[in-house]
Amino acid sequence: MPTRAEKFAGLSVAIVTPFRDGKVDSARLKEQIDFQAEAGATCICPVGTTGESPTLTHDEHERVIAESIAAAAGRLLVMPGTGSNSTAEAVRLTKFAAKAGANAALVVGPYYNRPTQQGIYEHFKALVEAVDIPICVYNIPTRTGRNIEPETIIRLAELPGIAMLKEATGSMDQASQVLAATDLTVLSGDDSMTLPLLAVGGRGVISVVGNLVPRDMKALCDAFDAGDMKKAQALHTKLFVLCRDLLGLASNPIPIKAAMAIVGRDTGDIRLPLVPLEPPLADKLRQVLAAYGLPAKAC
């Protein structure tokens, strides 16, 4: 049975924000988007967690959204992050994204102020009443400090503008409860949980490791959809080791930016309060990448 936003099924990539000399590097941003288009990704998700959105000024946030939409040029769907712990700010950013031509908005649960479940509901209700583009609820309690309970997500699904869920709780029980009660398009927010989530009814992934190996993650999703479980399982096993060793080194996006630089796709600086990967961890990362078949490239 089709889900509410089937066109977003498959591989979406949470792209990093390239910085150079303290500024957004527009040329590198376009290169990244071209890379994803050539790999056949369904969608890009700029200015999310991986895109270091908490460190961007409002002007930079809007600029990355607009430049991403322009660079995608219809080749990929664009679902920028527009969440905030201020409902008014989330509404403003989501309106900007809609006006700029975004296909949907990825909206993280309100962070830091730890609202009640009713407060979370009212936050998303205000968004869907303000814009016409589909909203993807992003539930990542390790970042926000508050789980969006499945009962709240099921209630939100009654609102026509709520189309998707980015599931990053790590709980298959919670995902299964939502999938059993709604027709939301549920996307994995953890690369290593992609195949398990597909198996219970999920429709794809918003991937970090896709910045490096989008074709492999797309192949996993495609193999599952084609009923080739042997291939899907083999790709899951291969990707699991990379995801475990890559994303376990430091907070996202520190390791993925370091990995991109190692393989010759330098994205420039990382912004404080995040700091570059420490040399011993960078050495380990080179070993992990080489084992996967991604050797370091000479500068």
Q: Which residues are designated catalytic?
A: 138, 166
Paired strand residues for 204: 10, 187
Q: What angle do CA 233, 198, 38 make, to 5 degrees?
A: 80
Other C-beta atoms closer than 10 Å to the C-beta of 231 total 15
Amino acid at 208: V
3-state class (DSSP) for residue 95: helix
Q: How far apart are CA 79 and CA 68, in angstroms?
A: 10
Which is it for strands 105-108 and 77-78: parallel, antiparallel or unpaired? Answer: unpaired
Measured CA to CA in angstroms, residue 219 lies from 205, 237, 247, 287 at distances of: 12, 13, 21, 24
* b (16+ CB within 10 A) / e for 183-200: ebbbbbbbbbbbbebbee
Q: Could you report how far apart the first and last alpha carbons of the chain are, in Å?
A: 49
Separate counts of helices (H) and strands (E) for the chain: 12, 10
